[in-house]
Amino acid sequence: MTDLKLLEREMVGWRRDLHAHPEFGFEEKRTSAFVAEKLREFGLEVAEGVGGTGVVGTLRRGTGNRAIALRADMDALRIPEQGSLEYRSQKPGVMHACGHDGHTTMLLGAAKLLAQDGGFEGTVRFIFQPAEEWGKGALAMLDDGLMERFPFDEIYGLHNMPGLPIGHFETRPGAIMSAEDNFEIVLKGVGGHAARPHAGNEVLVAACALVTNLQTIVSRRLSPADIGVVSVTELITDGTRNALPGLARILGDARSFRPEVSAEIEKQMRVIAEGTALAHNVSAEVSYTREFVPLVNDERLVEEAFDAARPLFGADNVRTAREPMTGSEDFARFLAHVPGCFVFLGNGNSAPLHNPNYDFNDAGLIHGAGFHAAIVRQRLPEA
């Protein structure tokens, strides 16, 4: 049987090495090579370059014909790391600010556990995904034939959660994370001298009105029973201190949990943009894209995840999340093909995700590896 204390020490070393060498989405060459080397060392079949820089490891035991997939994300963020960790990022402007170094390490730990100790019958696919942060990596792997080349019946994933104590486990049936839509609205008019606003059709007043008007989508145009968020994040003009702008760009994102709500947000945004532009005698062009789809857990597999987690975490530390999160996750793309379950594991009192002082809590590594292994053994029991 695997010495868990020794495995935990190994995992801390792997995680800190990955943290020191972060790579942005589809640039994870060193990370992918590291993952592939470890998987081969454990005795797995390994396929590299899936969807660009993705890696898939396969482990088979017995004669079972069912397959379970476990997924971890590998990419980092374009955020300059602060703080003085001895293993801090060695790549300027890039850091593991979301804990994907920890997620990758936990899945590697599970691969070693299952390869050494078995305890299941069937096939396990270990999916190491690139480019989760910008919602392109799962689609890239799927477009590269993931389901045809490495078929599986169900899939599980996890994410660390700052603020949730180490050793705690949460998930929920149904919608657990939201869709993310991006939008850009371009207003065009006629700029001019700040002293003569009447001589043109400047766009700044229209842009400010539009930013305010967009807030009525959620408060007045969606049903109170639906969850929706519309956030303007940038307002950019071509004006200067004494020149009124003739062009303004308004950018932001919208969150929702149902396609119908996303469609209504887009519809109302176009109506409001056109109406506001007309009232200010300027023109409006709306670009609306859907980057992430809602993450909807399979109800039956959520119960399976709870059953696997309780012996590991203790019944008091396993609970149903009270409400879905308005953050988004690329894992949702896999759920269009097979049922699955996404869970949250405690990361203690760390800095928030996507913060320049964030660091994954190494005390959580063994919990993630243990859960991955436990769900495999539960869903692929030995005959």
* Contact criterion met (CB below 8 Å) for 346 and 164: yes
State the pairing for strand pair 154-161/67-73.
parallel
| Spatial CA neighbour of 187 closest among 214, 208, 218, 215 | 208
Measured between alpha carbons, how far apart are the two ends of the chain, in Å? Answer: 20
d(CA 259, CA 178): 10
Amino acid identity of 78? R
| Spatial CA neighbour of 376 closest among 145, 120, 171 | 120
Find the DSSP H helices in the chain. 4-20, 29-42, 100-117, 137-143, 146-149, 204-214, 216, 259-279, 299-313, 365-379
Phi (first) and psi of residue 313, to 5 degrees? -100, -20
CA 110, 140, 344, 368: dihedral to nearest 10 degrees?
10
Q: Does the annotation place 19 within a ligand binding site?
A: no
Q: Does the annotation place 98 within a ligand binding site?
A: yes
| H helix or E strand, kind and range, residue 181 | strand 179-188
Q: Does the annotation place 208 within a ligand binding site?
A: no
**What is the radius of gyration, based on Cα positions, of the chain?**
24
Instruction: Give the single-character DSSP code of 240.
Output: B
Q: Give the contacts of 163 (CB within 8 A, at least 6 positions apart).
A: 347, 349
* Whole-Å CA distances, 346 to 5, 235, 367: 20, 36, 9
* Contact criterion met (CB below 8 Å) for 9 and 112: no
Neighbour tally for 139: CB within 10 Å: 16
Binding residues for Mn(2+): 98, 100, 133, 159, 354
Binding residues: 98, 100, 133, 159, 354
